[in-house]
Structure 1
Amino acid sequence: MADNADIASEMMQNRLEGALAKRPRWIGIDMAVTTCDDCGYEIPQARRKAAPWAVTCIECQGIREKRRRHVR
């Protein structure tokens, strides 16, 4: 029987695999995600340059982080 740590580890592994599957094959400025997964607006060039792996704009990422803090 799996304990809570095993279940949590499996959930995190599934999330990681999902995120990796969505990323561009060759991460670079030209191939970075250009629209936010949450709101659909364009991710600003400065954010894409600073964090080419980002899939959300700064505002939506802040909302995600606030939600995550409240879930714990």
Structure 2
Amino acid sequence: MASGWANDGSVQQQIDNTIEDAVARARRDLPHGESLLICEECGEPIPDARRKAIPGVRLCLSCQQEKDLHNSTFSGYNRRGSKDSQLR
């Protein structure tokens, strides 16, 4: 299959790299170690049930929700490029 300047399998390699980056980012953000008694962001106590449910938790529920909302907007890299620019 003719792919212009791209090598054979380069599209799959880009997809694989994007997935590997996402997995590495998710693993990095997993809690580890001992749970904290107070939130490291706001200083509020972390409920006992939350500390038991998620070992290694460092944030209260409110701060974790804020962090998750902020992280969900991260889109990573657009490794595919624009199809429109390739067709011109």
Normalization by structure 2: what TM-score? Answer: 0.47
Aligned to 2:3: none
Matched positions, count? 58
The structure with the larger Rg is 2
Identity rate of aligned residues, in percent? 29
Q: CA RMSD for the aligned pairs?
A: 3.0
Whether 1:40 aligns to 2:20 is no
Which structure has more helix as a fraction of its residues? 1
Gaps of 5+ in 2: 1-16, 76-88
Aligned to 1:49: 52
Q: Deviations over 1:4-59 (max 9, x none)?
A: x5xx58x84xx93xx75xx33xxxxxxx3111111111101110111121110111
Query: How far has the Cα of 1:71 moved from its partner?
Result: 2.5
State how far apart, in whole Å, the 1-side matches of 2:53 and 2:67 are: 19
Q: Which has the higher contact order (CA 8 A, sep 6+)?
A: 2
Normalization by structure 1: what TM-score? Answer: 0.56
Residue pair 1:37, 1:56 contacting (<8 A) in 2 also:
yes
